[in-house]
Amino acid sequence: MTPDDLAAALFELVVPLAENRRSGAGAEISRDDVVLERPRNRDHGDWASNISMRIAKRIGANPREVAAELAEGIASVPGVATAEVAGPGFLNIRLDAAATGALAKVIVEAGDTYGHNTSLAGQSINLEFVSANPTGPLHIGHTRWAALGDSIARVLSASGAKIASEYYINDAGSQMDIFGASVLAAIKGEETPEGGYPGAYIAELGRQVLEIEPNLLELPADEAVATARELAYKLQLVEIEKSLASFNVHFDVWFSERELHATNPETGRSAVDDAVERLREQGHVFDQDDAVWVRTTDFGDDKDRVIRRGNNIYTYFAADAAYYLSKSDRGFAHKIYLLGADHHGYVHRLRALAGAAGDDPTKDIEVLIGQLVSVNGAKLSKRAGNIIELDDLQAWLGTDALRYSLGRYPADSPLTLDPEQLRKRSNDNPVFYVQYAHARTHSVARNAEAAGVDRSAFVPELLEHETESALLGALQEFPRIVAQAAELREPHRVARFIEEVAGLYHRWYDNCRVIPLGDEPIGDVHRSRLWLNDATGQVVRNGLDLLGVSAPERM
Cβ–Cβ < 8 Å for 268, 290: no
What CATH number does the domain containing 76 carry? 3.30.1360.70
User: Is residue 380 over pLDDT 80?
Assistant: no
Cβ–Cβ < 8 Å for 553, 442: yes
Please tell me the predicted confidence (pLDDT) of residue 174. Answer: 92
- The letter for the amino acid at 194 is E
Work out the mean pLDDT of the chain and round it to a whole number: 93
For the four alpha carbons of 287, 291, 297 and 298, in that order, the dihedral sign comes to positive
User: Is residue 26 over pLDDT 60?
Assistant: no
C-alpha 476, offset from chain centre: 21
Please tell me the predicted confidence (pLDDT) of residue 138. Answer: 95
Encode 311-339: b = buried (16+ Cβ within 10 Å), e = exposed: eeebbebbbbbbbbbbbbeeebebbbbbb
Residue 419 burial (10 A CB sphere; 0-12, 13-18, 19+): middle
Asked if residue 395 is part of any domain, the answer here is: no
Cβ–Cβ < 8 Å for 431, 404: yes
Mean pLDDT for 204-217 is 97
Distance from C-alpha of 170 to C-alpha of 193, rounded to nearest angstrom: 21
Q: Are residues 192 and 328 in the same domain?
A: no
Please tell me the predicted confidence (pLDDT) of residue 22. Answer: 65
Percentage of the chain modeled with pLDDT above 90: 82
Asked if residue 406 is part of any domain, the answer here is: no
Q: Are residues 65 and 128 in the same domain?
A: no
Q: Are residues 364 and 257 in the same domain?
A: yes
What's the domain range around 74?
3-95
Q: Are residues 448 and 432 in the same domain?
A: yes
- Least confident residue range of 32-36, 142-146, 176-180: 32-36
Edge-to-edge strand list for the sheet holding 36-37:
36-37, 47-49, 90-95, 80-86
Q: Are residues 321 and 293 in the same domain?
A: yes
Convert the pLDDT of each residue in 222-244 to its tens digit.
999 999 999 999 999 999 999 99
Asked if residue 554 is part of any domain, the answer here is: no
Convert the pLDDT of each residue in 289-334 to its tens digit.
999 999 999 998 889 999 999 999 999 999 999 999 999 999 999 9
Where does the pLDDT of residue 4 fall: very low under 50, low under 70, confident under 90, or very high at 90 and above?
confident
Q: Are residues 130 and 265 in the same domain?
A: yes
**Residue 263: count of CB within 10 angstroms of its CB:** 11
Q: Are residues 159 and 185 in the same domain?
A: no
Please tell me the predicted confidence (pLDDT) of residue 21. Answer: 73
Q: Are residues 332 and 238 in the same domain?
A: no
Asked if residue 446 is part of any domain, the answer here is: yes
What CATH number does the domain containing 277 carry? 3.40.50.620
User: Is residue 356 over pLDDT 70?
Assistant: yes
Q: How far is it between the farthest Cα atoms of the chain? A: 93
Helix, coil or strand: residue 475: helix
**Residue 89: count of CB within 10 angstroms of its CB:** 23
Mean pLDDT for 200-212 is 97
Mean pLDDT for 114-130 is 97
Asked if residue 358 is part of any domain, the answer here is: yes
Task: Using alpha carbons, select from 419, 450, 477, 442 the residue that is nearest to residue 550.
Answer: 442
Asked if residue 551 is part of any domain, the answer here is: no
Q: Are residues 453 and 541 in the same domain?
A: yes
Asked if residue 401 is part of any domain, the answer here is: no
Domain end among 201, 229, 246: 246
What CATH number does the domain containing 509 carry? 1.10.730.10
Cβ–Cβ < 8 Å for 141, 469: no
Distance from C-alpha of 230 to C-alpha of 217, rounded to nearest angstrom: 15
Domain end among 192, 213, 246: 246
Cβ–Cβ < 8 Å for 275, 264: no
Radius of gyration, alpha carbons of the chain: 29
Domain end among 222, 246, 270: 246
Cβ–Cβ < 8 Å for 325, 278: yes
User: Is residue 39 over pLDDT 90?
Assistant: no
Mean pLDDT for 257-268 is 96
Cβ–Cβ < 8 Å for 64, 54: no
Distance from C-alpha of 388 to C-alpha of 366, rounded to nearest angstrom: 29
Q: Are residues 201 and 162 in the same domain?
A: no
Q: Are residues 191 and 233 in the same domain?
A: yes
Percentage of the chain modeled with pLDDT above 70: 99
Q: Are residues 162 and 109 in the same domain?
A: no
Distance from C-alpha of 501 to C-alpha of 407, rounded to nearest angstrom: 17
Asked if residue 210 is part of any domain, the answer here is: yes
Where does the pLDDT of residue 32 fall: very low under 50, low under 70, confident under 90, or very high at 90 and above?
confident
What's the structural domain count of the chain? 4
Please tell me the predicted confidence (pLDDT) of residue 41. Answer: 79
